[in-house]
A and B are shown apart, each in its own frame.
Chain A
Amino acid sequence: MPTTARAVLRRALRRHPRRLGTAAVLLSLHQACEALVPVAIGLTIDRAVATGSLPALAACLGGTAVLFLVLSQAYRFGARAVVAAWYRESHQLRVELAGRVLDPHGLRGAPATGELLSIATSDAERTGRVLEAAAVLVAGTTALVVSAVSLLLVSVPLGIGVLVGTPMLVGALQLLAPLLTRRTAAQQADVARTAALATDLVQGVRVLRGIRAEDAATERYRRTSATALRSTLRAAGAVGAYRGATVLGSGLFLAAVAGVAGALALRGDLTVGELVTVVGLAQFLAEPVGLLGFAGQKVAEARASAARIAGVLALPAAHEAGQVPRPGPAELHLRDVRAGSLAGATLHVPPGELLGVVAPDPRDAESLVALLAGRLPANEGSVLLDGVDTRALAPGHVRRAVLVEPHAVVLFEGTVRAALDPAAERDDAAVLAALEAAAATDVVVPAGLGLPVGERGRSLSGGQRQRVGLARALLRDPAVLVLHDPTTAVDAVTEEAVAAGLVAVRHDRARLCRSTVLVTSSPALLGRCDRVVVLTGGRVTATGTHAELTGRADYAAAVLR
């Protein structure tokens, strides 16, 4: 994996040698032919139009036809090759980034979601574009050389003048560009703010309606939109001035070239056709010079994007590779763990136990859950699975044995069935049984398991989402299941059903092999636990059954309501 911007770009250029080579050759040919079109027009006027010779006309038009044929086919296949290389490189980068983010060994210091997304989309796109820039660089240079040779063949002083003048003209316009960029950047920011506000207000439209704030919101949007309009109009002045300057520059340049070439022609030093060629080439030259500027800009953008990509690719893994031990009963031990707010927590979860954890300080609950999920490393002490430190085990193995369902349930888009059983390993009966145990059958009645859950489960209510998440965890049937406040969005009636379902599925007395850790303060759940521990100040301060502990004032304060 490349770990610097330069390495990312270098690998991009090396990864597609055939396509890039083809593109450079064909696009150069295309640019050379474009440069020859004014020459062909000049020749035709000189040899055929001015003379009236039919064979000459046929020859000229035939020659021009061949020129156009070569020109268009070179572009057609050259551009295809370069775009194929560019898109493929972007795709490969995107897949690598996704692979890194979704690495089973975790990622230490991963950027925020929004940033990762923009890296995987626009930065991958811009980095891949370095291939296009490379091909264009070669093609633009070729066009410059062909134009230069053509001009010098017609007239040496004129050729030199045009060759010096064109880059100066393009350069002068490039100097104006930052002015324009500054104005339009402010304008784009204002427009983006307007767009973001509209989306935000519409997303919260029900909330607005609940408190009758539609008019206030509309008024706020109107003000923001008016501000954006004002800065857009200011920028329009700059854009107009820039376009005017561009037109003026190229117009005056044309006047100068036509003046000198015309003077030479009037003296008889240049034919009419040569005059046309020079004027045509002077107009054409702006194109390759512009292409070179474009390529330079794209390379700079690609470098900045490649640096961000390299930053993600170079992130260290959160876990070592680790070994896969022989299957065991999945007995869990925490020994003097310090992690997050945990300060020397010791805990034993024997196979088959339904353990309740009450943490009056939510930070203790968060830390314990994050530790068991492998998101938070232990600074001191250790987490043992069947007597082996989990740091020495393969992360995939630990997660298959110990499943932590996060409190904020995330369901992936698709049907309810796919949300519960993404790999489609279980039959409908098993899926329905899991929904039943999580008291979530109301979600699929009457729509059935094919009901779409929408983006991140948004089409479900909070309570439904929570119970579907629970059903998913029950269906997975891990040796150790850790649930964090699994019934907070569920009404009291349903909570009771959830508690009963959980015990029936995982703690049926006939099979004593599954253990469950419930991090909760719900008496309905705690009442069914085999044992309850209290976490205070980052360590276990009390152990007993729910009934035994209710006598303690601190426990009652945390749990009873």
Chain B
Amino acid sequence: MSTSTPQPALLPVATGRRAARVVAAHLRRSPGQSALTILLAVAAAGAGLIAPAVLGRLVDAVPDGGSVWPFVAALAGAAVLVAVLTGLSTLLISRLGETVLARLREAVVDRALHLPSATLDRVRGGDLLARVGDDVAEVAESVTTGLPQVIGAGLTVLLTVAGLGVLDGRLALAGIAVVPLYLLALRWYLPLSAPLYAAERVAMGERSQALVSSVQGVDTVRAYADEPRHRAVVTDRSARALELGLRVFRLYSDFGWRMNRAEYVGLAAVLGVGAWLVRDGAVTVGAVTTAALLFHRLFGPLGLLLFTFDDVQSAGASLVRLVGVADLPAADPPTRVPSPARPALELRGVSHRYEDGPLVLDDVDLVLAPGERVALVGASGAGKTTLAGVLAGSLTPTAGTVLVDGRGVDDLRALVGLVSQEVHVFAGTLAEDLRLARPGATDAEVAAALDAVGAHWVAALADGTGTVVGEGGHELTAPQAQQVALARLVLADPPVAVLDEATAEAGSAGARDLEEAATAATAGRTTLVVAHRLTQAARADRVVVLAAGRVVEQGTHAELVAAGGRYARLWAAWTARG
């Protein structure tokens, strides 16, 4: 982290065709259900045409008189039929869509959690979060609320045109005549709206960002008497989002005007052509009435289709982003190779640089004996975190190798547990958090792990290990969160442990407790500790001093202090006994 970070990249995005193939493959997994869903959706839209047709017949029957009951019966029957078909097709479309969505989101999270470390480091953090968060939500939203309606509306439009064709081909032509007008409206609207919507979303994000950081950092804002500037930033960003919101709506209302124009042209064409056909005796007044009612009925579905077009578009954009992640190559199968209880580790000629940056590690040789506890000491930027990463197997060095008991291994990570200064408490109960490290752990094992790291505060929690912690739950202090991380290490029980500044975030009072916890958690493991506090170094079997990517001193604490070198000067300053 203290080295220059390479330019962050974005995760891949699938092509539209690839996304369609993936969805189709999911649908083929349940062919019967898919076919039935399509059939019912078409039938529901088709049954919707019965009522206008009956009304047309009723109009034709008026001049001759007669009983109204057959018409009423037909209309009531049609109502029941449409209701049943619409209800069933809504249900089936949701079932199919939601099932596919669930499979897709599971695949995405699976891949996201198994990304190789190199990819994780390269990818912008926000991008991965957006994929599993916003993109899943975006697709889910349109599957849940939009999909049945959009499919229903699309089929209604298609079948209505067919219905007009059954009445008379010329009436259908009159209806179809508006299609170019709708297309023109859409072609005018989409290129203008897409960038505007994107800009609005960005502006809204920045507005929330300004609010979040000002509210979360309010103590700092007050400490620096910087309230006016923060208020100005919030006001500015809110005003910018407001302005874009208004522009989006203005465009939307202009689009609505174009749609109304098209509606009028279509209605007038159907009525005009109808009048002409009635005059020629080609169709009845009832047929024209049916056509006019059918067309009037289309305003709703057409509006829905056109106005949800950009929802569909943005759901599509999210879908290709999801498929892009789901399509990433699967990570290596998680092999728990049988491993020696306390292996020896050796770094041989290890050098590393990030991208084209300077050398961070420069030809490092280092041996950790079985069960040995080695402390790594050095200034910021000396390469400590990089060295820890290489030893933990999360970083492949530019040059050199890591040997376990004298042999190279395929998957170093299978042997090593890494606890870094990055703490994260998983949302859920404390026991659930800990069981991530060992899913089958009994209550007693969980309690023993917490006990081992001295997390006695757990007993004081309202529900003990059943207390909900993390985001939205009971907030743990930084040292407590670090103790939880160490308890996870105890449960995961790896033969090798790497602790990278695992005690850094604690205040001075908590640091000592954490040191005890770290020592307990790594007991019996071959251990590398990146030590901030020299007391940690003093307790280690051996101290390694790193400077500018090279090992400059190593030996026991006593030896190095006696040698009067760099470490001895550090120790003197650290203890500063007046």
Contact = CB atoms under 8 A, between A and B. Distances in A.
A399 interface: yes
B249 A80 contact: yes
Interface stretch (B187-195, B257-265, B307-315): B257-265
Contacts of B505: 462, 488-489
Interface in A51-88: 52, 57, 60-61, 64-65, 68, 71-73, 75-77, 79-80, 83-84, 87-88
Nearest to B299: A37
Contacts of A360: 509
Contacts of A439: 380
Interface in B224-246: 224-231, 234-235, 238-239, 241-242, 245-246
A211 B225 contact: no
Contact of B95 (A210, A233, A275, A362): A233
B436 A220 contact: yes
A163 interface: no
A433 to B, nearest CB: 18
B424 interface: yes
B4 A202 contact: no
B379 A493 contact: yes
Interface in A232-269: 232-233, 236-237, 239-241, 243-245, 247-248, 250-252, 254-256, 258-259, 262-263, 265-268
A476 to B, nearest CB: 7
A152 interface: no
A211 B484 CA distance: 12
**Which interface residue of A37, A191, A212 has the most chain B CB atoms within 10 A?**
A212
**Which interface residue of A48, A472, A491 has the most chain B CB atoms within 10 A?**
A491
B492 A461 contact: no
**Which interface residue of A94, A490, A523 has the most chain B CB atoms within 10 A?**
A94
B570 interface: yes
Given A87-B242, A225-B102, A244-B84, A45 B90 contact: no
A121 interface: yes
B576 A95 contact: no
Given A198-B133, A203-B424, A485-B508, A50 B285 contact: yes
B217 interface: yes
A324 B469 CA distance: 45
Contacts of B213: 410, 412-413, 455-456
A73 B257 contact: yes
Contacts of A116: 215
B256 interface: yes
The dominant DSSP class at the B interface is helix
Contacts of B296: 37-38, 41, 280
Interface in B282-320: 285, 288-289, 292-293, 296
Interface stretch (B155-163, B268-276, B344-352, B557-565): B268-276
Interface stretch (B25-33, B69-77, B366-374, B399-407): B69-77
A83 B256 contact: no
By size class, the interface of chain A is 35 or more
B214 A101 contact: yes
A47 B242 CA distance: 49
B68 A459 contact: no
Contacts of A80: 249-250, 253
B573 interface: yes
A208 B436 contact: yes
A522 B507 CA distance: 10
A118 B288 CA distance: 54
A87 B246 contact: yes
B494 interface: yes
B380 A212 contact: no
Contacts of B109: 198, 201-202, 218, 221, 225
Interface string B73-87: 001101110111011
Interface string A389-424: 000000010011001111101101100000000110
Contacts of A218: 109-110, 113-114
Contacts of B83: 244-245, 247-248, 251
A259 B227 contact: no
A236 B271 contact: no
B506 interface: yes
Nearest to A526: B576
Interface in A448-486: 455-456, 458-464, 472, 476, 484-485
Contact of A524 (B82, B113, B437, B573): B573
9 contacts: A50-B285, A203-B424, A207-B424, A211-B417, A236-B90, A251-B78, A459-B5, A547-B577, A560-B575
